[in-house]
Structure formats: structure tokens, C-alpha cells
């Protein structure tokens, strides 16, 4: 299987995807922090962790340097501007952020980061299963950090709607499409659509995964 399309064009595409995913996850983190009524510093930290946490962990595991937010440091300014601007807008319009408002940008970021992380790992020569797991980590871990800092059980583990599973299937979609010699751009778009679409369908239909129904540890 050939994982090596034109290096220059692929690098540009991956940078664009990671940039869009960063914005989507930053919005998700911003809404989550605003719902917790954090101050400006708290909102910036939560938005930053959500936007950069998964990609940073992926790069650490792959021993990949520099990190995205170091190589493209201007995105830190974009994040700060987005955070300050969104907070001012919501205060001026007296908007109350809702859980659903955070879920849709989160779903988009999930698909974007899944495709991005999987492709980056493939470019590093990782086996397909490792690449898919790297895509899943990229997509999921930022949201996990967001929820932990906001003192919530991570929704990826607790809301019972497919989340990591969507990323996992999106990653395999990319691997399968490339194995079938699908054009690189189309393969990435297909992987994004699968991961984001599955998460969107799960939210729209309230589909849930099977829950653990063991005995209550408290004996109730």
C-alpha cells in the first residue's frame, strides 16, 4: 500500500485540516468553559487544551517535533482573539451557552482531527492499527482534557453516545480508501465525513452504546 502522495500538497492539506479542527475544538472548549462560568484565564486555558491537547499527545507519542502550535505560533494569537471576541459577543448579547452548542463544533473537530492524526501517523511509517489509534487520540484527548479541567467526567466516556468509536471508524475509512488508491484529498474528506457524520447521527437520534449493568459497587 502506498501512503506517499506529493509531499508539498499533502503538507498543505494537513495544515489546513488541523487549522480548521483547532478552531472547531477551540469553540467547543470555549462554550464548555463559559457554561462553567470560568474567568477569562480559565476560558483561554480550557479552549487551548481542547484545541491542542490531542495533537500534542499524538506528537509526543510519535516523537514528532515541533508541535503544531509551536510550528504555527500565530494560532495562539488566533485562539486568544477568538476567546476574547466570543466572550465579549456572548456578554453583549446576553447569550447563555448550551451543551448542544458545544457538541456540534466538537463533532466537526472530531472528524477533522481523526483524518489529520491518522494521516500524520501513516506518513511516519506507522502500521495501520497504530495510525488509526493516533487519529483517535488526536480527536478524543482534547475533549477529555477539557472535561477534566471543567470538573466533569469526560463525555467521551460517559454520555454513552459513540465518540471514540466514530473516530476509530473514521480512521479505518482513511486507511481503506488509501489502500484502494483513492485520491488523497477525497480519502481525507471521506474519513472526515464518516467520523463527523456518525457522531452527528448519534446526537440527532440519541443513539447510545450498551452500558455497563453490573452490580452496584455500593451494594444498592
Convert the pLDDT of each residue in 29-83 to its tens digit. Answer: 888 888 888 888 888 889 889 889 999 999 999 998 888 888 878 878 888 888 8
* Structure confidence by residue, pLDDT tens digits, 121-135: 999 999 999 999 999
Cβ–Cβ < 8 Å for 113, 21: yes
Cβ–Cβ < 8 Å for 175, 3: no
Q: How many CB atoms lie within 10 A of CB 124?
A: 14
* Structure confidence by residue, pLDDT tens digits, 9-31: 666 777 778 788 888 888 888 88
Cα–Cα distances in angstroms (integers) from residue 115 to residues 11, 103, 133, 193, 194, in the given order? 13, 19, 11, 10, 10
Main-chain phi, psi angles of 133, to 5 degrees: -65, -35
Cβ–Cβ < 8 Å for 149, 46: yes
Residue 37's pLDDT is what? 84
CA–CA dist 155, 35 (Å, integer): 15
Residue 95's pLDDT is what? 54
pLDDT-derived band at 215, boundaries 50, 70, 90: low
Helices and strands (H and E) in the chain: how many: 9, 0
Please give the angle made by the CA atoms of 14, 113 and 129, to the nearest 5 degrees. 95
Q: Which residues of 185-201 are buried (b: 16+ CB within 10 A; e: fewer)?
A: eebbbbbbebbbebbbe
CA–CA dist 172, 167 (Å, integer): 9
Asked if the model's pLDDT at residue 104 lies above 70, the reply is yes
Amino acid at each position: 500500500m502506498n501512503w506517499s502522495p506529493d509531499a508539498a500538497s499533502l503538507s498543505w492539506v494537513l495544515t489546513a485540516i488541523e487549522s480548521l479542527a483547532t478552531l472547531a475544538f477551540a469553540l467547543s472548549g470555549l462554550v464548555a468553559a463559559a457554561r462553567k462560568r470560568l474567568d477569562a484565564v480559565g476560558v483561554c486555558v480550557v479552549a487551548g487544551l481542547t484545541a491542542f491537547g490531542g495533537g500534542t499527545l499524538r506528537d509526543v507519542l510519535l516523537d514528532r517535533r515541533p508541535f503544531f502550535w509551536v510550528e504555527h505560533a500565530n494560532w495562539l494569537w488566533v485562539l486568544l482573539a477568538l476567546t476574547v471576541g466570543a466572550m465579549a459577543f456572548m456578554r453583549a448579547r446576553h447569550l447563555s451557552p448550551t451543551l448542544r452548542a458545544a457538541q456540534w463544533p466538537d463533532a466537526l473537530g472530531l472528524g477533522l482531527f481523526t483524518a489529520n492524526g491518522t494521516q500524520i501517523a501513516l506518513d511516519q511509517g506507522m502500521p495501520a492499527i497504530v495510525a488509526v489509534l493516533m487519529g483517535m487520540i488526536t480527536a478524543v484527548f482534547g475533549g477529555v482534557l477539557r472535561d477534566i479541567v471543567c470538573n466533569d467526567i469526560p463525555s467521551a466516556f460517559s454520555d454513552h453516545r459513540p465518540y471514540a468509536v466514530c473516530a476509530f471508524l473514521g480512521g479505518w475509512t482513511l486507511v481503506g480508501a488509501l489502500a484502494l488508491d483513492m485520491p488523497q484529498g477525497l480519502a481525507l474528506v471521506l474519513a472526515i465525513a464518516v467520523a463527523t457524520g456518525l457522531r452527528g447521527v448519534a446526537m440527532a437520534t440519541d443513539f447510545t452504546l450498551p452500558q455497563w449493568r453490573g452490580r452496584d459497587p455500593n451494594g444498592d
